[in-house]
Amino acid sequence: MVSAKSDAALCAQAARLAGYLRAHDGLDVADVGWSLAGRSMFEHRAVVVGGDRDRLLAGLDELSGGAAVSVVRGTATPAGKTVFVFPGQGSQLLGMGMGLHAGYPAFAEAFNTVVAELDRHLLRPLREVIWGHDENLLNTTEFAQPALFAVEVALYRLLESWGIRPDFVMGHSVGEISAAHVAGVLSLENAAVLVAARGRFMQALPPGGAMVAVAATEAEVGPC
């Protein structure tokens, strides 16, 4: 990601970056991307994708020359706010997070830490349930809710490591616990106790429960 305060400055920034890369043959393109992600972002932006040094340089040369056929560029709206919404039960999948765990150390570290804390309160290792082969077991409330919490928190930590931070967080159902934890309202230890107990108690409820939606304002349903 390259950004600047004007189109002309964006092209100049791309030219400077290309020149720096050519002057330093030993630079890893992943390290370059990491460093750019941590910089202040300006209104005029471009995304250059290159799996190796030559392809990255080709994209930067296009951008600096004004052609930018293979480069995504545009103007960001500065007034927007970022909200992270954490989902509730029903979004769980066997194998979720496995690829991220293998490819991104920040995700793996966070996932391992959260799972280790949750395992203290569960009847079997959560990793075996999430990355196992028994879909019915994962879909039980007892394991689905802790599993979602673990993946959601680890994904948040991964985005955080890239410099992506929300202005607000919110959650639906068990996602509220994930949101409360990453916002600093609940420690990991307390959140793990809560999410494990929530899943266990909801699993113990008799079948046949229902949810009611009330189409009314707060004033209409509030105390008289």
Distant-in-sequence, close-in-space partners of 157: CB < 8 Å, separation ≥ 6: 106, 107, 109, 110
Looking at the predicted structure, is the pLDDT value of residue 147 above 90? yes
Higher pLDDT, 223 or 70: 223
Annotated domain spans of the chain: 2-75, 83-204
- Confidence category of residue 142, pLDDT binned at 50, 70, 90: very high
What is the dotted CATH code of the domain comprising 2-75? 3.30.70.3290
Looking at the predicted structure, is the pLDDT value of residue 221 above 70? yes
| pLDDT score of 78 | 64
Q: How far apart are the first and last CA of the chain?
A: 55
- Region class of 95: left (phi > 0), else alpha (psi between -120 and 50), else beta: left
Higher pLDDT, 49 or 126: 126
**Each residue's pLDDT tens digit, 69-96:** 677 777 877 667 899 999 999 889 999 9
As a whole number, mean pLDDT of residues 100-127 equals 97
Pairing of β 2-4 and β 44-47: antiparallel
CA distances from 45 to 6, 11, 16, 52, 186 (A): 9, 10, 15, 21, 36
Higher pLDDT, 45 or 116: 116
As a whole number, mean pLDDT of residues 40-52 equals 82
Which residue, chain included where needed, has tokens 């250059």?
A: 48
Looking at the predicted structure, is the pLDDT value of residue 5 above 80? yes
- Confidence category of residue 197, pLDDT binned at 50, 70, 90: very high
* Correct CATH for 83-204 of 3.30.360.10, 3.20.20.140, 3.40.190.10, 3.40.366.10: 3.40.366.10
Q: How many CB atoms lie within 10 A of CB 116?
A: 15
